[in-house]
Structure 1
Amino acid sequence: MDFCGRPIEPSTSRSPTPDYRFRVYLPPGKSYDMTLWTKNDVFRWMTIFMPVTQHTETYIALKELYLDGDVLCAIINDSVSHMTLGISEGDLELIVGHGKLVLKGPPPEVRLPPPPSLKHLLEISTPKNLSIQKMNNASSSTMSPPPLKATPTVFPPPGRTFNMREWDQLDVELWMTTFISVNDCPDFFIWLEKNKIDGEALLAMQYVPKRVKRDSGISQSLLRKILDRVEIVFLEYRKIKIEETTQ
Structure 2
Amino acid sequence: MFRLTDRSNLSHADVVLFGLGYATLIFTVGYYVTGLHDAFRTGFAIEDGPVEWGTAVCLLLSSLVLLRNACVLRGRGRLAVAMTALYALAFFFAAGEEISWGYRLFDWEATEFFRENNAQGETNIHNLVVGDVKLVKTLFGGGLSLVILLYLLVLPLVYARVGALARLADRLAIPVADTRHMILALAATVVIVAVQMMTKWESYEFVFSLLTVSIFLRPRNAEKVT
Fold conserved (TM > 0.5)?
no
The higher relative CO (CA closer than 8 Å, separation ≥ 6) is in 2
TM-score w.r.t. the length of structure 2 is 0.23
What is the TM-score with the length of structure 1 in the denominator?
Answer: 0.21
Which structure dedicates a bigger proportion of its chain to helix?
2
Please identify the structure whose Cα radius of gyration is greater.
1
